[in-house]
Amino acid sequence: MTRTIWFAGGGTGGHLYPGLAIARALVKADANFTPHFIGARRGIERDVLPTTEFGHTLLELHPFYRRTPWNNWRTAVGAVGAWRELSRLAERARPEAVIGTGGYAAGVALAWARANKVPTILHEPDSHPGLTTRVFARGARAVYLGFPEAARFLSTASGADVLTLGAPIEAPPSAPVSREAACARWQLPATAFVVLVVGGSQGARAINEVIARWCEQGLPDGVAVIWATGRAQADVYLPHESTMVRVRPYLSPIADAYAAADIAIARAGAMSIAEFCAWGIPAVLIPLPTAAQDHQTYNAAAVAESGAAIHLPQSQLTVDRLASIVATLRADSTQQTDMRAAALERARPKAARDIAAAIHKLLRPER
């Protein structure tokens, strides 16, 4: 029996990719499930969903324009048209549930589900829930969290499941390559202190500029850098490649970089943090100041409070400050060990499987 499940979310990869991971785990657990993705024509899902195995519907959805409120007519008109398209889609195959993974692309589908008495389930990867999650949490059958700290911001219905199951990522292999072998693959000395720098697929210019100046000034002896600049910025920074610096536009696959890294320097996105924790990598987290509702600052603060990371605001990011942090961590093996242990304590490497199992149980409760 086919069981249609709508996944609604997108706009950014942080909202889309968790949904794809959960959908795949759900189908693996029960082949009767048929995920169908609802997204925005203007989001990342426009490019990603056609490359996947899942059916999808892209709608003329817009966010709330807080800085230019006169543009919110687009949001209203798009929502009305999207509602009609969802109703037509449901006539062909009514969903058994709608799973919202965040972002403006999820709102209309979740509202349609409420109005049509279809159960809703939410996944929230960040420590400070986004607007969509906060609005729809009260009526959701379940809310699955990436950060336990997010629960305090939510008001949920009596009896709803609120579980910290993590952010779906590709888990480290059961037998990962050794650090020495990983360094060899990067043609770096096994004795090097390896700093991994990642800023996402588009890169983080503020971080890149500081790393570039650090390299130009000369890295400390024995320090190596594996540096993912982001595809859009690669041409500017590729000339910084040297015997102890590896510069790449993007790291895919990234396993060898994680296996080699002693510490990571990165933005504070939920998915990156989940991967650092799963691999047990101490992190220096530099939140994106313009992130929606400053959620990356909340993420960085939560992980730093747990002892797994150092929170470095972008306003304090300089070559000297970064070099000082790296030098302190390099010299203090006890702090490194404690940070690794704290990261692994927060890790939820099997989040997709666990969330899929929880959804399956929720929709087919034991009798």
**Interval 119-132: pLDDT, tens:** 999 999 999 998 88
- How distant, in Å, are the alpha carbons of 14, 73, 104, 362, 363 from that of 137? 19, 26, 15, 16, 18
Query: Any idea where the domains of the chain sit in the sequence?
Result: 3-170+350-363, 179-346
CATH 3.40.50.2000 is right for the domain spanning 3-170+350-363: yes
Report d(CA 223, CA 261) in Å as an integer. 11
- The amino acid at 344: L
Residue 55 zone, left/alpha/beta (φ > 0; ψ -120 to 50; rest): beta
User: Which residue intervals of 34-149 are DSSP H helices?
Assistant: 45-48, 72-92, 104-115, 131-136
Counting residues of the chain whose pLDDT is more than 90, the rounded percentage is: 75
pLDDT, position 338: 98
| Residue 109: burial class (beta carbons within 10 Å; 0-12, 13-18, 19+) | buried
Question: What CATH superfamily is the domain 179-346?
Answer: Glycogen Phosphorylase B; (3.40.50.2000)
pTM value is: 0.89
Segment 166-211, tens digit of pLDDT:
999 888 998 889 999 999 999 999 999 999 999 876 778 999 999 9
Residue 7 and residue 96 in contact, taking contact as beta carbons nearer than 8 Å = no
| Residue 284: burial class (beta carbons within 10 Å; 0-12, 13-18, 19+) | buried
Residue 96 sits at φ, ψ, to 5 deg, of -80, -25
3-state secondary structure of 8: strand
Q: What is the DSSP letter of 140?
A: -
Segment 225-268, tens digit of pLDDT:
999 998 888 889 999 999 999 999 988 789 999 999 999 999 99
